[in-house]
């Protein structure tokens, strides 16, 4: 039940966001987050955006692992 | 960067990184001359580990066991019986429930069986859908089966706030929500009965409660944990990190899922939860009664408490399924296939226990991917 998916916000109207992931579009409530903007990536669980995804952080993590890989 | 952001996220499925981590796991485990057991305490991890076949590629001395992380599985049979009791006793009841609860067997019946007999049971994906159901059934009493950990609770809190704002009065909640940490502590207090060398900590639940809260686990129980994401690379990094902790004797809490989990969690969501729910003692399948591990409505929202609105007996006699070992499976004491019912009389098509029904239950995961 704690399953949740990453999606990108493409439209915001009041406390509802239109989110997209690989062609799937759905609505999600934004009540649980501060300052959600179009273009933000969020984790959606039971129709609510529960946390933003820090893309810089993801990029940094992957970069570290890829660099180690290239040194192998 | 925006156009390829999902590509960045898909790198957590990168096969080369996965195999490099696996090589490290093999090396580290070869230096440890004992069997180590790591417990995941999130149903989605359970499912992903089975789905990606991670257990099968691990060295023999590294075992993954599933703990009480599936909210449907830990919901006791008594809760299901209460919902069935309401449907049978009151003619005007509409039950609204998350899909995972629909087929969970109670002592005598399930919501699915009751619906087939003509009772009204509506399945929701999101708690806020209950508002539309209440409008559709304006002459009925809608009872929402409110279950789930802190991941799900803030959405239910928003539902409660909306019901109050919109003055919708024909809705109440049968509250079965649970706070995760008290259960984790209870589990750790019974570690004399079985052993765990480290925890794969839940990613999405931790996005709400934060990674800081696990520090006392290390302090009090000297067991480390890694907060993990749900992609295959996330999970093997978690396992490798736990093995490193065992190797160097330096246990700690590591946040591998830092792209989503912050040390302090989601402060706004936690505030929203505390406006509507307060901790109370709660019954868990597998763990029994655990202090402060359950939720009850705050005074401000007690109007929406189904147990106050309707007369539900405190102790409905339960009839446990003979032979069902869900309780032991939930605590990681036995593997699903060690239950004599597994795959014989208990299957996802005809489940006997909650662990086989829930899409995130250990038995369902083993049945689908590891038979």
Which residue numbers in chain A have pLDDT < 70?
1-2, 68-72
The rounded percent of chain B whose pLDDT value lies above 90 is: 77
CA B280 to chain centroid: 18
Residue for token digits 């002592």?
B107
Alpha-helix residue ranges (DSSP H) falling in chain B? 5-10, 15-30, 43-51, 54-57, 71-74, 77-89, 111-116, 129-136, 153-165, 180-189, 203-209, 215-221, 232-248, 267-276, 306-309, 326-330, 354-357, 362-369
- Provide the token pair at B268: 């706004």
Q: Do B43 and A50 touch (CB under 8 A)?
A: no
- Provide the token pair at B99: 């899909």
Read off the DSSP letter of residue A33.
S
CA B140 to chain centroid: 30
The confidence score (pLDDT) of residue B235 equals 97
Nearest Cα to B113, choosing from B87, B151, B150?
A: B87
Backbone angles phi, psi at A6, to 5 degrees: -80, 135
The confidence score (pLDDT) of residue B187 equals 87
Q: Please say if the pLDDT value at position B87 is more than 60.
A: yes
Band of residue B25 on the pLDDT scale cut at 50, 70, 90: very high
B200 with B39: CB under 8 angstroms? yes
User: SS3 of B53, please?
Assistant: coil
CB-side neighbour CA atoms (13 Å) of B275: 16
Q: Do B1 and A2 touch (CB under 8 A)?
A: no
Please name the member of A2, A50, A68 whose beta carbon is closest to the beta carbon of B266.
Answer: A50
Q: Does B263 touch chain A (CB under 8 A)?
A: no
Determine the Cα–Cα distance for residues B371 and B365; give it in Å rounded to an integer: 9
Q: Please say if the pLDDT value at position B199 is more than 80.
A: yes
B236 with B22: CB under 8 angstroms? yes
Nearest C-alpha of chain B: how many angstroms from A18?
Answer: 15
- CA angle (B306, B310, B313) in 5-degree steps: 100
Residues of B in contact with A17 (CB under 8 A): none
The mean pLDDT of B93-97, rounded to a whole number, is 98
Q: Which helix (H) or strand (E) holds B124?
A: strand B120-124
Determine the Cα–Cα distance for residues B37 and B64; give it in Å rounded to an integer: 6
Q: Do B259 and A68 touch (CB under 8 A)?
A: no
Q: Do A58 and B70 touch (CB under 8 A)?
A: no
- Pick the range with the lowest mean pLDDT from B154-158, B176-180, B345-349, B357-361: B357-361
Determine the Cα–Cα distance for residues B13 and B9; give it in Å rounded to an integer: 8
The confidence score (pLDDT) of residue B193 equals 65
Determine the Cα–Cα distance for residues B131 and B127; give it in Å rounded to an integer: 8
Residue for token digits 């399945």?
B123
B24 with B58: CB under 8 angstroms? no
Q: Does B180 touch chain A (CB under 8 A)?
A: no
> pLDDT tens digits, residue range B213-238?
999 888 898 999 999 999 999 999 99
Within 8 A by CB and 6+ apart from B4, the residues are none
Determine the Cα–Cα distance for residues B148 and B167; give it in Å rounded to an integer: 25
Answer positive or negative: Cα dihedral of B257, B260, B265, B271.
Answer: negative
Q: What is the CA radius of gyration of chain B?
A: 21
Pairing of strands A48-52, B36-40: unpaired
Q: Do A1 and B148 touch (CB under 8 A)?
A: yes
Residue for token digits 């067991």?
B223
> pLDDT tens digits, residue range B297-343?
999 999 999 999 999 998 888 887 788 898 888 888 888 999 999 99
B178 with B205: CB under 8 angstroms? no
Residues of A with CB under 8 A from a CB of B: 1-4, 6, 8, 21-22, 29, 31-34, 39, 41, 43, 45-48, 50-51, 53-55, 57-59, 61-62, 65-66, 68-69, 72
Q: Please say if the pLDDT value at position B86 is more than 80.
A: yes
Alpha-helix residue ranges (DSSP H) falling in B277-358? 306-309, 326-330, 354-357
Residue for token digits 């023999």?
B60
The confidence score (pLDDT) of residue B359 equals 81
Give, in order, the Cα–Cα distances in Å from B135 to each of B130, B139, B141, B236, B302: 9, 9, 11, 47, 21
The confidence score (pLDDT) of residue B29 equals 97
- CA angle (B341, B195, B355) in 5-degree steps: 30
Determine the Cα–Cα distance for residues A44 and A19; give it in Å rounded to an integer: 9
Determine the Cα–Cα distance for residues B213 and B103; give it in Å rounded to an integer: 34
Q: Which helix (H) or strand (E) holds B242?
A: helix B232-248
> pLDDT tens digits, residue range B117-175?
999 999 999 999 999 999 999 999 999 999 999 999 999 999 999 999 999 999 999 99
Band of residue B1 on the pLDDT scale cut at 50, 70, 90: very low
User: SS3 of B108, please?
Assistant: coil
């Amino acid at each position: 039940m704690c399953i949740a998916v990453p999606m990108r916000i493409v439209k915001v109207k009041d406390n509802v966001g239109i989110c997209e992931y690989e062609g799937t579009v759905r609505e999600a409530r934004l009540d649980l987050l501060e300052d959600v903007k179009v273009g933000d990536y969020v984790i959606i669980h039971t129709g609510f955006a529960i946390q933003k995804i820090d893309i810089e952080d993801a990029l940094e993590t992957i970069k570290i692992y890829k660099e180690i890989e290239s040194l192998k | 960067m925006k156009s390829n952001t999902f590509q960045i996220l898909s790198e957590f499925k990168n096969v080369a990184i996965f195999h490099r981590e696996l090589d490290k796991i093999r090396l580290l485990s070869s230096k440890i001359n004992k069997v180590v057991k790591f417990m995941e305490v999130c149903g989605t991890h359970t499912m992903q580990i089975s789905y990606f076949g991670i257990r099968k590629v691990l060295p023999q001395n590294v075992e993954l066991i599933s703990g009480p992380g599936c909210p449907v599985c830990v919901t006791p049979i008594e809760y299901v019986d209460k919902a069935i009791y309401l449907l049978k006793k009151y003619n005007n009841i509409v039950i609204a429930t998350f899909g995972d609860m629909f087929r969970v067997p109670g002592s005598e019946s399930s919501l699915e069986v009751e619906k087939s007999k003509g009772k009204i049971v509506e399945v929701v994906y999101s708690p806020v859908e209950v508002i539309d159901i209440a409008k559709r059934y304006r002459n009925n009493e809608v009872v929402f089966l409110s279950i789930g950990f802190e991941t799900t609770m803030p959405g239910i809190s928003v539902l409660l706030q909306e019901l109050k704002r919109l003055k919708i009065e024909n809705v109440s909640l049968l509250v079965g929500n649970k706070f995760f940490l008290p259960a984790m502590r209870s589990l750790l207090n019974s570690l004399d009965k079985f052993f765990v060398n480290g925890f794969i900590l839940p990613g999405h639940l931790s996005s709400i409660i934060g990674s800081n809260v696990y520090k006392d686990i290390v302090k009090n129980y000297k067991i480390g944990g890694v907060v993990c994401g749900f992609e295959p690379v996330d999970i093997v990094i978690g396992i490798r990190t736990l093995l490193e902790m065992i190797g160097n004797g330096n246990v700690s809490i590591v946040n591998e899922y830092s792209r989503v989990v912050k040390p302090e969690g989601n402060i706004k969501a936690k505030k929203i939860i505390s406006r509507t729910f307060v901790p109370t003692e709660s019954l868990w399948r597998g763990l029994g009664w655990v202090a402060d591990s359950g939720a009850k409505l705050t005074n401000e929202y007690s109007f929406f408490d189904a147990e106050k609105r309707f007369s539900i007996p405190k102790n409905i006699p339960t009839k446990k399924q003979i032979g069902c070992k869900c309780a032991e499976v939930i605590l990681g004491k036995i593997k699903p296939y060690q239950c004599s019912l597994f795959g014989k009389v208990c299957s996802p098509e005809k489940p006997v226990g909650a662990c086989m029904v829930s899409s995130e239950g250990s038995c369902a995961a083993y049945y689908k991917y590891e038979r």
